[in-house]
Structure 1
């Protein structure tokens, strides 16, 4: 991978869906690209949510809609151009207040960190999206 790269959610990415929800994730840059962090896209239908425990630091950049994260009874909501920061070890619920797209950036790689965490079984909730 060159020193400078550009990715979009319209690139040919491998998308994953959580159960039968209108919720899709795709890593665009990750360990496969010899990168130190993961950069990807999440698309949520209005009202969709996903409980999770982050085992990595993560920044969420809202590019469409209104998106929130709830943790410990506190809800942090963000709109287009705003960023939500999550610290490793946080129990939370990701939620789309309306149809949303979010760019996520995690360090270390979210997949590797989750595989090495007590929450690794949660990865089975996601399956590749059939074209």
Structure 2
């Protein structure tokens, strides 16, 4: 893969796997491209909650709106230009506020492969 630039308009947003809220993700780089990381955009409608035990290391950059992330009883809130790091194995609750949020993310390794492996293991 060569050097590339991405915009939100490049992403094909789909409902985040394993949840039925209005939270959408769109990978732009992932296992299909041969690199070691996944890069994409996420869009959270207003007042959404997502609880997840992280199966990968995840870096989330808030581009618009505001998100709160709770883990082990501690809550941090991030707005535009701020970065949240969620380590593998951590159980988090991500909550969007009244304006929703647009994020960019980078995961290592690929979140989709880890999610699918976890789903196979729970059957």
Q: Which category of TM-score, normalised to the shorter sequence, fits these structures?
A: 0.7 to 0.9
Q: 2:56–2:87: 8 Å Cα contact kept in structure 1?
A: yes
TM-aligned CA distance change 1:7 to 1:52, over 3 Å = same
CA RMSD, aligned part only?
1.5
CA shift at 1:115, angstroms? Answer: 2.2
User: Is 1:10 the equivalent of 2:9?
Assistant: yes
Q: Which runs of 5+ in 2 are unaligned?
A: none
For normalisation by structure 2, the TM-score amounts to 0.87
List structure 1 segments (4+ residues) > 6 angstroms apart after TM superposition.
Answer: none
How far apart, CA to CA, are the structure 2 residues paired with 1:22 and 1:87?
24
**TM-score after normalising by structure 1:** 0.82
**Residue equivalent to 2:117:** 116
How many residues were matched structurally?
117
1:32-83 per-residue CA deviation (whole Å, 9 max, x = no partner) reads 1111100111101111111111111010000001112111111111010000
Are the aligned partners of 1:54 and 1:114 in contact in 2 as well (CA < 8 Å)?
no
| Structure 1: 5+ residue stretches without partners | 122-131
Q: Aligned ranges for residues 99-114 of structure 1 at < 5 Å?
A: 99-114=100-115
